[in-house]
Chain A
């Protein structure tokens, strides 16, 4: 058996040019800077990173970031599925506007979202005042961070699940109903498994976005060390103090935890695809 060539011969022009531009820009903009971070990490080794990260304030920030991101992504998973279902299956006035509104968190700058959400949910704000009546403080607490993370991750699940719902063959549902399944049973055992892989993809994207989010969170968070200080903010604080080693150590830990989580989600996805029996 002959070895597969690295690049197959092709009559298409522009191989050198397109490959050159692609690899050069990818290296310059993405790979070299990430390499610089990893190199920095390599110079002080795992034990050095551990020494920096193993402090109460850093642990608190990492734990807070990943815990709230997970909760927000779970919320977005449920609400995103609901939104996708409503937008594809139901016809009602204003559906187009609703559909377009889902994408606003993608288009609105995070700093703008941050100050707007803070203004609304602060104790003297529109909704913040209402919440205060029942003794619930939203802005400057972990509830506020949760809200901002839900905002930035809102579109992902809806946008990955919507095309899948559109593709579902109605006959499958009819068959299920003919065989005596209730609507709830059909949704739970026929529809939901079909949506699971796409929903998981959306969940992973939403989670990744939430973990790294900075702009919309810092305004509403209050930024109290140990309580409402997120990991990206801690990196910024270290950088402002020109403490590059600590910033790099926290940055690398965030990268490692994020990649581990994404890997886990990918494995779950492979498993769920195999279980449902289609690729």
Chain B
């Protein structure tokens, strides 16, 4: 019989394979796919018109504008930080490098709520700095600067983490060659380094942006939740949901979900097309 196939010694039996694949699919379906579908189902529960009308609401519009503004400020700032930190860490040898990398990663192990608390304690009206800033008419907490700071805190490591491994792997030889040939430092960065790290940079910026637009815990603490002023999209979703305005809440949630899906799509495309220029952990 020609269709007998012996199982390879380094493979699990077919039945086990099917079982494991089944478990993986079932787990992701109940945990990941179901919430995704529910967001759109609930948003469209009363038809397209209701969903679009909810998005046209004045508070929803101002929340969308605020979230775009916050991402527009904090993501470029964190990208600039990421590039500077990666350059400093990979192009120079100095003592305490490991400590510096640990400190940059610190926000990942701090609860967003604690991050917000830190900013309130630092810049709130009761603090030394905050009291003076409020008195001079520049409040940080319960205002835009506080939300930007909180967002930057939680997204702080994203870009640096993507760039550092890539720049370590690429080494310094190309930059040294450019410098030897007489290029200025800035020109070397722009024409040699930047083209080498652009996909990793884009990857980091994508993740940073998704988190910046969706951050809830840290922003909830510092925003004061003033409707039309300091309520970002996630905060507005919470307020609408708690008022049982399901369609309105899920319509805004659907916009953020679409953003998440686009982020995943672009991220996967980068992993497939530019795998060799990303941090090794993203290569499949």
Nearest to A37 among chain B residues (CB) is B118
Q: Considering the chains assembled together, what is the distance between the CA atoms of A166 and B283 in angstroms?
A: 10
* A267 on interface, CB distance cutoff 8 Å: no
Q: Considering the chains assembled together, what is the distance between the CA atoms of A94 and B283 in angstroms?
A: 18
Binary interface encoding of chain B residues 71-113 relative to chain A, with 1 for a CB under 8 A from any of its CBs, else 0: 0000001001100110111011111000010011011111111
Nearest to A118 among chain B residues (CB) is B241
Contact between A235 and B256 (Cβ–Cβ < 8 Å)? no
Q: Considering the chains assembled together, what is the distance between the CA atoms of A177 and B117 in angstroms?
A: 55
* A1 on interface, CB distance cutoff 8 Å: no
State the Cβ distance, B145 to closest chain A Cβ, in Å: 11
* A53 on interface, CB distance cutoff 8 Å: no
Enumerate chain A residues within 8 angstroms of B38, measured Cβ to Cβ. 116, 119-120, 126
Enumerate chain A residues within 8 angstroms of B221, measured Cβ to Cβ. 235-236, 239
Nearest to A104 among chain B residues (CB) is B32
In the complex, which range does the number of interface residues on chain A fall in? 35 or more
Contact between A177 and B214 (Cβ–Cβ < 8 Å)? no
Binary interface encoding of chain B residues 14-42 relative to chain A, with 1 for a CB under 8 A from any of its CBs, else 0: 00010011011101101111111011001
Contact between B34 and A100 (Cβ–Cβ < 8 Å)? no
Enumerate chain B residues within 8 angstroms of A177, measured Cβ to Cβ. 9-10
Contact between B95 and A251 (Cβ–Cβ < 8 Å)? no
State the Cβ distance, B226 to closest chain A Cβ, in Å: 14
Enumerate chain B residues within 8 angstroms of A90, measured Cβ to Cβ. 17, 20-21
* A4 on interface, CB distance cutoff 8 Å: yes
The residue from B119, B126, B188, B214 contacting A111, defined by CB atoms under 8 A apart:
B214
Nearest to A232 among chain B residues (CB) is B113
Interface of A is mostly: helix
Contact between A30 and B153 (Cβ–Cβ < 8 Å)? yes
* B243 on interface, CB distance cutoff 8 Å: no
Contact between A98 and B25 (Cβ–Cβ < 8 Å)? yes
State the Cβ distance, B253 to closest chain A Cβ, in Å: 4
* A277 on interface, CB distance cutoff 8 Å: no
Q: Considering the chains assembled together, what is the distance between the CA atoms of A254 and B109 in angstroms?
A: 11
State the Cβ distance, B239 to closest chain A Cβ, in Å: 10
Q: Indicate whether A236 sits within 8 Å of B220 (C-beta atoms), given known contacts A98-B25, A254-B114.
A: yes
Enumerate chain A residues within 8 angstroms of B185, measured Cβ to Cβ. 12-14
Contact between B31 and A151 (Cβ–Cβ < 8 Å)? yes
Give chain A interface residues in 90-109, CB to chain B under 8 Å. 90, 92, 94, 96, 98-109
Binary interface encoding of chain A residues 69-112 relative to chain B, with 1 for a CB under 8 A from any of its CBs, else 0: 00000000001001101110010101010111111111111111
The residue from A4, A13, A247 contacting B95, defined by CB atoms under 8 A apart:
A4
State the Cβ distance, B108 to closest chain A Cβ, in Å: 7
Contact between A98 and B28 (Cβ–Cβ < 8 Å)? yes
Contact between A19 and B280 (Cβ–Cβ < 8 Å)? no
Enumerate chain A residues within 8 angstroms of B104, measured Cβ to Cβ. 26, 30
Q: Indicate whether A10 sits within 8 Å of B93 (C-beta atoms), given known contacts A22-B81, A83-B24, A99-B284.
A: yes
Which positions in A face B, CB cutoff 8 Å? 4, 6-8, 10-15, 17-19, 21-22, 25-26, 29-37, 40, 79, 82-83, 85-87, 90, 92, 94, 96, 98-113, 115-117, 119-120, 126-127, 147, 150-151, 154, 159-160, 162-163, 166, 170, 173-174, 177-178, 183, 186, 205, 208-209, 211-215, 219, 232-233, 235-236, 239, 244, 247-248, 251, 254-255, 258-259, 262
**30 A–B pairs (Cβ distance < 8 Å), ordered by A:** A10-B91, A10-B93, A12-B175, A18-B87, A18-B91, A25-B77, A26-B81, A26-B103, A33-B115, A33-B122, A37-B114, A37-B121, A86-B24, A99-B284, A104-B264, A105-B32, A109-B234, A115-B237, A116-B36, A116-B38, A120-B34, A147-B31, A151-B32, A154-B31, A162-B281, A173-B10, A183-B12, A232-B111, A251-B111, A258-B109
